[in-house]
Chains A and B, each alone.
Chain A
Amino acid sequence: MNFVAVQMLIGDRAKYLGLIFAVAFSTFLMSHQSTIFAGIMDRTTSQIKDIKDASIWVMDPKTQYFDEVKALTDDDVYRVRGVPGVEWAVPLFKGLPRAKAFDGNFRVVNMMGVDDATLVGAPRDLVLGSPEDLRKPDAVLVDRVGYEFFFPKQPYVLGRTLELNDHRVTIQGIFNSSAPFQNLPVFYARYSQALTYVGRERNLLSFVLVKAQRGLSDSEVCRRIGAATGLDAATSQEFGWQTIRYYVAHTGIPVNFGITIAIALMVGTIVAGQTFYIFTLENLKQFGALKAIGVTNWRITGMILLQALMVGAIGYSIGIAMTAAFFEITKGNLDLRGFVLFWQIAAGTGAVVLFIVMAASLMSIRRVLVLEPAVVFRG
């Protein structure tokens, strides 16, 4: 009877396509918006993830998230180095100076200052140049977004200059960065030099980057640093989630995306449910005939569920393919980089679609189950 169920479904071409469209649209909207949301949240941690050399971040205990920093004292680096279990500890500066091109074009940039001696924290994915080039005078490394902003539609060339807080800096490297939350350009300089690019405050040390000694876990070293210095220490992963939690709790972003996803869910369920119900109502005589002929309620329930699952599978496949295609097409765009359809989102959307088609079929199943087969004898 599975064959009969499938033929009944695809035989009514208009409703079949309507159901597929409803599920595909719903799938696309849910997976697309979820991916954008996850991507934006991921962006809030981009510079934490981009620092590969260290796995522990030490910061002021009241720090809520990456982009809002209260500076530590320079002595804090030495205090952290003195904690048992710390392999090494280096300073990291993070500031938002204004960069200006000589044509007058300017933009606020994310300036990261890495330890002068070790260059720990410097980017590793360079398109041109080398991290070691940071040792050159007035050197900065610039990400592709920054380069293309200041030198639009021009080939990547090293040695070009910009102005930072009345200082002339030279681009000695161009690198790929993860997209930051505000999509600002990212610059790297030596720590000592980076401090000169921002307005002076008494303290300018943003973070201390730490490597745990071999044999000790990051969390254990974090605990020791906290106990010994009174500072907050977190692993890169913990600090990333702390930052994401801040944005979830203190911005309207999740509410905004949540509403869109909820609407997609409701529209998908209502449109699919209504269309499926009408489809069933229009086939009620046929279902009655099948019941009269001797098809059991279980078999009819199975037929309807098969129809629902078929619609769900096809609609989901189309919708998720549209989402994947969207992010595949846009991945080359620098402003949209970093948005990836995670398998968790694809799986979660699949589960929601399963719920949609099951909910859509429930009313139809109920209607058919209570149907008296004798209805087929009433004209």
Chain B
Amino acid sequence: MTHNVQTITHPAVVCRRVTKDFGAGENQVRVLRGVDLDVPFGGMTLLVGPSGCGKTTLLSVVAGLLNASGGEVTVLGEDSRRMSGGEAVRFRRRNIGFVFQQYNLLPALTAAENAAVPLLAAGVPKKKAVAAASDLLSQLGLGERLHALPSQLSGGQQQRVALARALVHGPRLVVCDEPTSALDHETGNAVMELLTNIAVRPDRAVVVVTHDSRVFQFADRIAHMDDGRIVETSGAGSRPFEPVFAGVN
């Protein structure tokens, strides 16, 4: 595999005055009220805040699952407003990895097959996809459970499979929704350590929505939300954005 070394001169995600409304007319509810956010490459950014503050909605907009009602959203240098539905799907398939709160593993597939799904969706032959997924699962400590069904795995193991699924296709942006909320403290910490050690790379950005303060220690940058806005940014990422030197494919 050839690695081109280049300077990444833009953040992974740029949000400017982003709004998101649900419903229409009198029932219209504004969930995001002008969000400004930069997510740099090479680190983990946490979106934190009380329930209902708009964290998950913002994550959905960043991941291209929801369209913003207003403002600008640039993800990996692409203006999401200019993407058609099909382009958005292809963009997600190539560039974004997902970790869900409830794992959302397919119950009939083994751990290796579940982790291989993004590659299968991209048209990679099954054998090759499962082999790649198995390698990654081994790195995540699940080398002995490759053929186990989700129902035969613990919560922490399932989340590690979900993590492998999020990373197997080499995405440049990984979005995680409450990845530790269904796990006990120790397992949650283990998952966050894996996320930090394996997911975070110079050419990749990781965005985690959480209200679990125990995981704050793993963040490079924390964006505090309240009532549909970013009210405070702290941590390393609160410094002015500086380009990072990264090797990318």
* Chain A residues within CB distance 8 Å of chain B: 1, 3-4, 7-12, 285-286, 288-296, 299, 372-374, 376-379
Supply 15 further A-B pairs (C-beta < 8 A) apart from A286-B107, A293-B93, A374-B65: A3-B126, A7-B113, A8-B106, A8-B109, A11-B106, A289-B98, A289-B100, A291-B89, A294-B92, A296-B86, A296-B89, A299-B121, A377-B56, A377-B177, A379-B101
Bound-state CA distance A294–B101 (Å) is: 18
Closest-CB distance, A91 to chain B (whole angstroms): 73
**Interchain CB contact under 8 A, B106 and A372:** no
Binary contact track B96-114/A, C-beta < 8 Å → 1, others 0: 1010111011111100010
Closest 8 CB pairs of A and B: A11-B108, A294-B93, A289-B104, A374-B65, A374-B60, A7-B108, A294-B92, A377-B56
- Determine whether the beta carbon of B109 is less than 8 Å from that of A295: no
Check B63 for interface membership: any CB of A closer than 8 A.
yes
Q: Are A293 and B98 in contact (CB under 8 A)?
A: yes
Name the interface size band of chain B: 20 to 34
Cβ B104 vs Cβ A294 within 8 A: no
26 contacts between A and B (CB under 8 A): A1-B121, A7-B106, A7-B109, A7-B113, A11-B108, A289-B106, A291-B89, A293-B92, A293-B118, A293-B165, A294-B89, A294-B90, A294-B91, A294-B93, A294-B96, A295-B89, A295-B93, A372-B66, A374-B60, A374-B66, A376-B65, A376-B100, A376-B177, A377-B101, A378-B56, A379-B102
Q: How far is the CB of B32 from chain A (nearest CB, A)?
A: 13
Q: Assess whether B60 is in contact with A285, with CB atoms less than 8 Å apart.
A: no
Complex Cα distance, B98 from A290, in Å, reads: 10
Contact of B65 with A373 in the complex, beta carbons under 8 Å: yes
- Could you tell me the distance in whole angstroms from the C-beta of B159 to the nearest C-beta in chain A? 14
Q: State whether A288 touches B104 (Cβ < 8 A).
A: yes
| Bound Cα distance from A90 to B89, whole angstroms | 80
B contacts, CB < 8 Å to A:
56, 59-60, 63, 65-66, 86, 89-94, 96, 98, 100-102, 104-109, 113, 117-118, 120-122, 126, 165, 177, 209
**Chain B residues with CB below 8 A from A291, complex form:** 89
- Write the nearest CB–CB distance from A94 to chain B, whole angstroms: 65
A34 to B113 Cα, complex, angstroms = 45
Cβ 8 A contact of B121, one of A294, A373, A374: A294
* Majority SS at the chain A contact face: helix
Determine whether the beta carbon of A377 is less than 8 Å from that of B65.
yes
Residues of A contacting B107 in the complex (Cβ-Cβ under 8 angstroms): 11-12, 286
A288 vs B106: C-alpha distance in the bound complex, in angstroms?
A: 11
Q: Closest residue of chain B to A298, judged by CB?
A: B86
**In the bound complex, how far is the Cα of B104 from the Cα of A7, in angstroms?**
15
A4 touches B65 (CB 8 A): no
Which residues of A lie under 8 Å from residue B165 when comparing CB positions? 293
| List of B residues within 8 angstroms of A296 by Cβ | 86, 89
Contacts of B209 in A (CB 8 A): 377
- Asked if residues B126 and A286 are in contact (CB atoms below 8 Å), the reply is no
Chain A contacts for B94, CB-based, 8 A:
294
Given A7-B106, A7-B109, A374-B60, the answer on whether A292 and B117 have CB atoms closer than 8 Å is: no
Residue pair A377, B90 in contact (C-beta under 8 Å): no
Known: A7-B113, A293-B92. A285 touches B121 (CB 8 A): no
Residue from A4, A289, A294, A373 with most neighbouring chain B CB atoms (10 Å): A294
The closest CB in chain B to the CB of A379 belongs to B101
Q: B98 touching A292 by the CB < 8 A rule?
A: yes
Nearest residue (CB) in A for B59 is A377
Give Cα A293–Cα B120 distance, bound, in whole angstroms.
11
In the complex, chain B residues whose CB is within 8 Å of the CB of A373: 65
Nearest CB in chain B to that of A7: its residue: B108
Contacts of B104 in A (CB 8 A): 285-286, 288-289, 376
**Contact partners of A294 in chain B: CB under 8 A:** 89-94, 96, 118, 121-122
